[in-house]
Amino acid sequence: MAAIMAEVEFRHRTFIPNDKLTAQIEKMAEWLTKERRKFGILLCGKCGNGKSTMVKALQQLLNILGIQNEYTNRYYGIQIISAKEINALVSKDYANLARLTRTDMLAIDDLGTEPLEVLNYGNVMSPIIDLLTLRYEEQLFTIITTNLTPDMIHKVYGERIADRLCEMTEIIVFDNDSYRRNNTI
């Protein structure tokens, strides 16, 4: 809660806790701390109801805590990138896209806002689908925010990706109203 409050105040908004936010934080905390079979989380809901703020708060919390991975001796941290930025990397920085695809902890913000296919020197590529497929296969920690419902994900990305996302992610639904309309959270 303190990490979200700090993120909201950084964005010059007034933090006002509510029951739905508390329940969302509890679900996220439970997923992060309990023994689990899923290695990702999908935050879905309408625009402006705190999904990206939750991910940014988690990123800042990990930075502050400085938890070291005993296997790699690196500190845990989440890299956040929008789905549109992932698509842009195909043509401007493919090496960075390849590195990003295998990063330990990745948050993809605004899944569903990007075009499904990207042309790169005449080649048709599907960077989000390829990235999600590889992260699924290698069971890499992935957080996704989206305004799409699970049914819409199935329609946009197809059965294969929707099925894999279902297996790899715990879904937290953000069904509260937009915080942007009243500048509070």
**Cα separation, 44 vs 47, whole angstroms:** 9
Query: Would you say residue 165 lies in a domain?
Result: yes
Tens of pLDDT, residues 46-61:
998 899 999 999 999 8
CATH for 32? 3.40.50.300
Whether 182 is in a domain gets the answer no
Domain that holds residue 127: 2-174
Q: Has residue 181 been placed in a domain?
A: no
pTM attached to this predicted model: 0.88
Q: Is the pLDDT of residue 82 over 90?
A: yes
Q: Is residue 180 part of a domain?
A: no
Question: 79-82 and 105-111: which strand pairing?
Answer: parallel
**pLDDT, tens digit, 9 for 90 and up, residues 19-76:** 999 999 999 999 888 887 899 999 999 998 899 999 999 999 888 887 777 777 887 7
The answer to whether the CB of 73 falls within 8 A of the CB of 45 is no
Domain count, the chain: 1
Pairing type for strands 141-146 and 169-174 reads unpaired
Report how far residue 38's alpha carbon sits from residue 23's, in angstroms, rounded to the nearest whole number: 20
183 assigned to some structural domain: no
* Residue 90 falls inside a structural domain: yes
